[in-house]
Structure 1
């Protein structure tokens, strides 16, 4: 059977053949091998130990710093700030060589000579790398839960598990971005530059956008929204917030969306955490794009869209 009509596409074909199909068994085989390679290299166990150490250390430190008022929800709110930085770094590093490394070494041609289509390889690599990250998070979080139980004044198992699930979704979003970019680059050098660019964009540039827009508003270049609030002295004061469109841009960042979903866990605990936005600034209620459910949709967007683009383009690139 020729490569053009087989499950894998011709390595020299630049897009004249029809798009490859998806075989779930083939995807599972690629994902299984990818995961087994990580286990054999001790990557999986190293990440599990790292997440356990991180969570246990944070629980111990926060318990020492705030022994009386540390609750499950407040612990989650603080840990999510650390996770906002750590999870993207690990996901981008895991996805860096997923496909670009295979293309650079030439082993992608051998993989595609087997009954695997390009879509099978892409999805299998994504699932395999996600399994490494997700299961290491699961093991690390569950073992560290013993330390968290003793650290907080009132432990909520449902809220803790929900936070773990949301952290896995956040990791999947960055893994989708990483593997998708890896499939569109010819070398690990180009893939590494792309990963660095993604991290700089979301963690440095995007986090500076709100500050920059605030400065522009103060200098009169952007018209803000005025509202009345109460200060610490109990006095009514007039202040200004950024317009809705500026807040929407800020919330598109997956890290900000991840942190905003913390409010989803409040209903799972007797403890409550309020929104990070001043409700007085929104007398008619928070806009839909600032609500926790929309933040979850943003994370899903960063999972689906990069993957959809990669599935389309990877079928047509010259390998």
Structure 2
């Protein structure tokens, strides 16, 4: 696959983008705030929980901003025709976009979290460096999942408004409202006499969102308190960290594959 030229171009263009630098600076400041003005308990797990709360809502939005115009801008500017006139297939182009935009998100995010984590290791008790690196990796995968979702929208629709509305709508559904949607499905199926605890299939469905899969990976590792059923001790055996990793992988590969199938036959 000849995806490297597109990935390199994306990274170079992003380095020159003021918007990207502004987003990186904002993310860095917010994460740094969680280390400098962290919890008073002195526990490392409490620091991670504070950092998690910061990146949980921020990272998907940054991923959407990076991904939603990735293909749309190339099509509108006419550079897409030039890019595909090179010895590069549409599949190579899409793969390069995913890799390039993921690097643009992931490199500064990982670097910032590692630096802040190194500072926190000296400040908080019960430090767990390996677990923290797992948190950093899960956060990067979480961001890439939303890059993939936005990239899929960018390949599938023809106007800026269509792409942005779909991408933001998916963000709201998958990140802000997923647990409510699952609870609503259960309530309707049981005619608003919701059983307690909720059925095992509904607990598993809670984990199907990239945001909840990310929450599960971090909360289980650092033992956060949560009212979410997929984090309860009596959750079904299928609901575990390995399943959460598979869910994130699916949200990275699935949307971009679906978007590519539509993009492959689109007239330029």
TM-score normalised to structure 2 length: 0.88
- Of the three residues 284, 300, 307, the one matched with 2:249 is 300
Distance of 1:220 and 1:106 partners within structure 2: 53
1:212 paired residue number: 184
Match of residue 157, structure 1, among 129, 134, 140: 129
Unmatched tracts of structure 2, length 5 or more: none
Is the contact made by 2:56 and 2:211 (CA closer than 8 Å) also made in structure 1?
Answer: yes
Q: Which residue of 2 aligns with 1:192?
A: 164
Which of these residues, 64, 67, 77, is aligned with residue 41 of structure 2? 67
C-alpha separation in 2, matches of 1:182 and 1:288: 37
Within the candidate set 87, 97, 106, 1:115 is matched to 87
Deviation at 1:243, TM superposition (A): 0.9
Tell me by how many angstroms 1:151 deviates. 3.9
- C-alpha separation between the residues in 1 aligned to 2:126 and 2:109? 23
Deviation per CA, 1:180-237, whole angstroms, max 9, x where unpaired?
A: 11111112222112212111221333232244357669x864562xxxxxxxxxxxxx
Deviations for 1:132-184, whole angstroms, at most 9, x for unmatched residues? 00001122112223442344223222122111111111111111111111111
> Per the alignment, in what secondary structure is the counterpart of residue 265 of structure 2?
coil
2:14 matched residue in structure 1: 38
Q: Normalising by structure 1, report the TM-score.
A: 0.75
Q: Give the counterpart of 1:244 among 200, 209, 214.
A: 200
Residue of structure 1 aligned with 2:73, choices 94, 101, 112: 101
46-55 or 158-167: which moved more?
46-55
User: Partners in 2 of 1:39 and 1:197 — Cα distance?
Assistant: 28
Q: Distance in 2 between matches of 1:85 and 1:104?
A: 30
**What secondary structure, in the 3-state scheme, does the structure 2 residue paired with 1:62 have?**
coil
- The equivalent of 2:145 in structure 1 is 173
1:228 maps to which residue?
none
Distance 2:49 2:242 in 1: 17
Query: Residue 14 of structure 1 aligns with which residue?
Result: none
The answer for the alignment partner of 1:4 in structure 2 is: none
Structure 1 residue runs of 5 or longer lacking an equivalent are: 1-22, 225-239, 267-271
- Corresponding residue for 1:232? none
Where 1:241 maps in the other structure, the secondary structure is coil
CA offset at residue 40 of structure 1?
1.6
Tell me if 1:260 matches 2:216.
yes
Change (3 A) 1:47 1:152: farther
**8 Å Cα contact 1:176-1:303 kept in structure 2:** yes
Structure 1 contact 258–299 (Cα < 8 Å) conserved: yes
After the TM superposition, which residues 72-151 of structure 1 pair with which residues of structure 2 at under 5 Å, given as runs? 73-151=45-123
Change (3 A) 1:151 1:67: farther
Bigger fraction of residues in helix: 2
Instruction: Count how many residue pairs are aligned between Structure 1 and Structure 2.
Output: 265
Aligned to 1:290: 239
Kept after mapping to 1: 8 A contact 2:11/2:104: yes
Closer, same or farther: CA 83–289 of 1 in aligned 2, 3 Å: farther
